Every structure is written in structure tokens, then in C-alpha cells.
Amino acid sequence: MNRFAGALAALCLAAAGTTAVVVAGPAAAAPACSVAYRVNQWQSGYTADITVTNGATTASSWTLTWHYAGNQSVTSAWNATVRQTGTAVTAQSLSYNGALPAGGSVSFGLQGTYSGTNDTPTDFALNGVSCGDPAPPTSTTPTTPTSTTPTSTTPTTTTSGPPPAGCTSAAICDDFEQQTGSTPGGRWTVGAANCTGTGTVAVDSSVAHSGSRSIKVTGQGGYCNHAFLGTSLTGVGSNHLFGRFWVRHTTPLPTGHVAFMAMRDTADGGRDLRAGGQNQALQWNRESDDATLPAQSPAGVAQSVPLATGTWSCFEFEVDGAAGRLRTWLNSAEVPGLVVDGVPTPDIDQQWLAKTWRPAVTDLRLGWESYAGDADTLWYDDVAVGTTRIGC
């Protein structure tokens, strides 16, 4: 018997914003299930809307499995719990959508990254039975797929709805609703490149910009109290990046130098490109030569703005490595003193452009660095990175 009678047909179009549909079945006999896998993709990321239609046997819970043929990596999901081990992916029902009657359908979605091709999966199985097999599902026990070359496990627990607004073109989009432990996991790691002390990073379910979770950073004063959560930017697909995150903090930016975001710049000796504050206003700082943006003169600082306390603020940035340019927005308004436009401007980017700067950033870290005794408590939420401006 051909287990893949009624084979899956893939229509995967490479153009951004196109839709690919794959349907399994029907075969000569009623298949165990059928799957519609609809893809919306861009240069380095994609979303997939997946609809599963059950065969002849009622299920009280469901598990759909498949394998990716390329290097696709699932980063978030909704209306299902999705886990990935190597190329093997498992999607499991939630408490509110587990019941699947004979002939019934259920839908869920996911977001991920890829490079090269983004072929549609062809080996869907429902509760352990191939969707091309006429035998109906006989077990409702979740089945975890195996992979001959397992590499890493990235648990992704659903949000209650689609990805956060404004993230449809982002390669990385995270509202932290998928975090189930007290310490950030999945794509995120916790630590600092130099030294850590009493600063902490934790998942917080009491404060959030959207949903019910955020990341809380308890930042302490002093060099060896740095605390960050970070993620790789590998696979975003361009040296021209846009980022966006929401931040809330409790203590006004101090006179001394602090940073709440850092990115490793491999074109600058692996030193950090940092965003934070000094002289009570937002600033960028280049670790390699301690250049600041704007210059820390009264006229320069006047071209920046403070970061409000006790409320959520939307921080956006653009890093254009090819052109050596940088732009910054706070709550959708561009900050004049936080712009590198290639033309040296006194009190703003004249010091910054004293050397050739063509950044190539490879990670994103959110947290707290203080080079004196200044402490702060911060929350981060709705983080996104892509190749076009994402917005607030």
C-alpha cells in the first residue's frame, strides 16, 4: 500500500508576500487527515497558517508532526504548542482546541526564519499516522517525532493570538508569551560578555506591554553587575537592520554612562555598539573608542531626549552597515541627536565620524550596564528585528 497516496502538492513561491498552499489527500480510501499549509514569506522569514482536517476517528487531543527539508527554524506560534528538534517539528493542541471530531478541522500558525529555500513540508502525520495513510488515527497520545540528526530543542509555546502587531515583516518577533519558566529560554540566553554580579534577568508575569509576560532586568550599579538577555541575529539576512522594542524603567537616566542595549560589531573588532544614556538623556556609545552620539556637550545633549519612567516607551533603531549610518526613534519620533547620516555635524556625529564606521552587528542584547553606581529596574516587551522599519 502506498502510504503517501494522495501526495502533498507544494506551491511555494519565493516572492515576498506570496502564499503557498499544500493539501494532503484525499486518497481512494478516506485519509487519516489532510493539511493545508499556507505560507507568507519574505527574504529571511515566514509565517505559516496551518489547517488540519481530521479523518474518520474522533480525537480528544491532537499532535501534528512534520520535518523541514531545509534550515527553517520556528521562533513563535499561536493556537498550538510547537517544538522543534533539528528538522523535526511537533505541534500539540491546547486546552481549548484539543477536541477534533471526525471530519473536523483546527487551525494554528507559526513564525520562523530560514535561508536559501523554504520548501513546504510533505510528511505530515496526525497522532502518529501519516496524513496520506487511509488508516484513521487510533491514538490520541501526543507523539514526539524523532530526528536522525537532532541538534537543538527550541520550545515555543503559543500565544493566545497571532504575533504582535507590526511584526509581519520581522525576522525576529517576540512578545515573550511563549516563556514558561522563570528564566528566559528558547532563542534567548542570559549573561554578559565581561562579568556578572548581582544583576538579574527574569520572566515577569505581573508587568507587560502586551499579553501577560515581559522580561524584567534588575540592573545593579558597578561594572561587574552587567545583566543581559540576548539573541543571535544570524539569519536576519542583511547588514541593514531595523529594530524595535518596548521598554519601561523606574529610575531616570543618570549623569554617568549606562547602557540598556548592546550589539556586537564584528567590523569593529568585536566590540559593542551600545544604546543607553548619559547626562540624563539617551545616547549611543561605541565601545572601541568610547565615541558618543550625540557629543556630550550641552549643545549635543540638548539634541537628545530623556527616557520617561513609569511608562512604556517604544525604542526604534536603524543600523545601515553598508552606508555607515544610524537612526533612532522614540515613540515614533526621530531623535535629531541620535542620527549618523554620513555628514559630520558639530555636537552630534562629528566625533562619531572621526573614523570610518561600517558596522556588522551579529547579536542583540537587552539589559543593563552601569559604569558607576547607578542602578535601574527595566522591563522589555514586544521585541522585533527585521530588514524594514517595523514601527511601534
How far is C-alpha 110 from the chain's CA centre? 12
Domain of residue 221, CATH code: 2.60.120.200
Mean pLDDT for the stretch of residues 109-133: 85
223: in domain: yes
7: in domain: no
* Same domain flag for 121 and 217: no
* Same domain flag for 108 and 195: no
* Same domain flag for 176 and 275: yes
Domain boundary residue, one of 156, 189, 214: 156
* Same domain flag for 127 and 241: no
* Same domain flag for 250 and 277: yes
Q: Retrieve residue 156's grid coordinates.
A: 515555543
Longest pairwise C-alpha distance within the chain: 80
328: in domain: yes
Which pTM was predicted?
0.63
194 — pLDDT class (breaks 50, 70, 90): low
Residue 282 confidence (pLDDT): 98
pLDDT for 159 beyond 60: no
Q: How many domains does the chain have?
A: 2
372 vs 358 pLDDT, higher one: 358
Q: Retrieve residue 258's grid coordinates.
A: 549606562
- Cα–Cα distance for residue pair 373/383, rounded to 1 Å: 28
| 153 Cβ contact list (under 8 Å, min separation 6) | 83, 84, 85
Residue 43 confidence (pLDDT): 66
169 vs 49 pLDDT, higher one: 49
Burial letters for 90-101: b for 16+ Cβ neighbours within 10 Å, e otherwise? Answer: bbbbbeeeeebe
134 — pLDDT class (breaks 50, 70, 90): low
Residue 166 confidence (pLDDT): 55
* Same domain flag for 293 and 189: yes
Residue 64 confidence (pLDDT): 92
271: in domain: yes
Q: Which residues constitute the domain of residue 267?
A: 170-386
207: in domain: yes
36 vs 133 pLDDT, higher one: 36
Residue 21 confidence (pLDDT): 42
Domain of residue 37, CATH code: 2.60.40.290
* Same domain flag for 93 and 176: no
Q: Using one digit for the tens of pLDDT, what is the confidence trace for 68-86? A: 988 898 887 878 888 887 8
Residue 239 confidence (pLDDT): 86
Domain boundary residue, one of 122, 156, 190: 156
157 — pLDDT class (breaks 50, 70, 90): very low
Residue 263 confidence (pLDDT): 95
* Same domain flag for 132 and 208: no
- Cα–Cα distance for residue pair 33/22, rounded to 1 Å: 13
75: in domain: yes
**243 class by beta-carbon count within 10 Å (0-12 exposed, 13-18 middle, 19+ buried):** buried
279: in domain: yes
392: in domain: no
Residue 168 confidence (pLDDT): 65
321 vs 165 pLDDT, higher one: 321
* Same domain flag for 82 and 146: yes
* Same domain flag for 249 and 310: yes
Residue 140 confidence (pLDDT): 36
Q: Using one digit for the tens of pLDDT, what is the confidence trace for 272-281? A: 999 999 999 9
Residue 208 confidence (pLDDT): 95
* Same domain flag for 81 and 201: no
Q: Are 275 and 282 in contact (CB under 8 A)?
A: yes
- Cα–Cα distance for residue pair 88/67, rounded to 1 Å: 4
Mean pLDDT for the stretch of residues 106-124: 87
Q: Are 287 and 350 in contact (CB under 8 A)?
A: no
294 — pLDDT class (breaks 50, 70, 90): very high
pLDDT for 5 beyond 80: no
* Same domain flag for 213 and 146: no
| 380 Cβ contact list (under 8 Å, min separation 6) | 214, 215, 217, 229, 245, 246, 247, 366
Domain boundary residue, one of 156, 184, 215: 156
